[in-house]
Amino acid sequence: MIMQIEHALLLAAGEGTRLMPLTKIWPKCLMPIGGQPLLSHWIDDLIELNVKNILVNTCHHSDKVEEFLARPSLFGKVSVASEKELLGTAGTIIANGEFFGDGPAMIIHADNWCHCNLMEFCQSHQRQREQGALISMMTFSTQTPNTCGIVELDDFGFVVSMHEKVDNPPGNLANAAVYIVEADVIAWMRRNPHITDFSTEVLPHFMGQIAAWHNAEYHIDIGVIEMLLLARESAPVKKGVDDAWAQSFCKHEVHDLIKKLESGHGISKQ
């Protein structure tokens, strides 16, 4: 029987300071890629995977993100966890611990443009948890390893060490910040409510129980303008729901700012 993921958290609350001035006027998680806001791609992929419960956390430009999530086409499909101040990646999971239920769940940093077969990711986790995996981590090959979390694997595909944004890391196999976690991991986090960061505080605790699954298609962290533009180049145009929100989105000034960047006209980051 194929494992079913029932719950997924999309972490979408960050400020995106490295994307200034774009993020002064528009949230990072809604940057236009392939004709649609980035978050729309993730939600569509999770719905296609038949995930029943999707939670999105908000903070920076929360009003704009929540307006997007309130669209009639998403009614009953997505819920919101609003944060007045950022809780951190682990803090958000702990604060919403009851959301995850008692089965495996997906935790996704939603500021990445990602194209892959999520069903294969789930199937890999199903196989690897028989070998003791409590977490499955998506990986990708990066051209800028010093800007990523680089991982080393054993002969069985389990993570044995991590190097977070260091000079001259050993390789280019990067953590994509997309995970499948077992309920035992959520339970451990809830017993340790002082932790705030998933990468630096949770993953080290479960070292040796983290299986890697490699995404050989597309995975781009849009955290800087150059990577956002690269993601826009690689993403196929996708038709979305034509509603009032979409029509307003198409007219937003963020599109003109991005077009100036794409045409090589510099704009101030102030």
Bridge partners of 219, per DSSP, are 114
Q: What is the pLDDT along the chain (270 residues), one digit of tens a residue?
A: 778 999 999 999 999 899 999 999 999 999 999 999 999 999 999 999 999 999 999 999 999 999 999 999 999 999 999 999 999 999 999 999 999 999 999 999 999 999 999 999 999 999 999 999 999 999 999 888 877 889 999 999 999 999 988 887 888 999 999 999 999 999 999 999 999 999 999 999 999 999 999 999 999 989 889 999 999 998 989 888 999 999 999 999 999 999 999 887 554 443
User: What are all long-range contacts of 75-80, with beta carbons under 8 Å and residues at least 24 apart?
Assistant: 77/43, 77/47, 78/43, 78/54, 79/53, 79/54, 79/55, 80/55, 80/56
What gap in Å lies between CA 38 and CA 22, rounded to an integer?
14
How far is it, in rounded angstroms, from Cα 156 to Cα 143? 25
Amino acid at 154: D
The Cα–Cα gap between 32 and 240 comes to: 12
- Is CATH 3.90.1150.10 correct for 7-262? no
pLDDT at 178: 98
DSSP classification of residue 224: S
Torsion sign (Cα): 140, 145, 148, 153: positive
Which token pair is 215? 């995404």
Domain residue spans in the chain? 7-262
Quick check: 158 and 136 in contact, CB under 8 A? no
Q: Are strands 53-58 and 36-37 parallel, antiparallel or unpaired?
A: unpaired
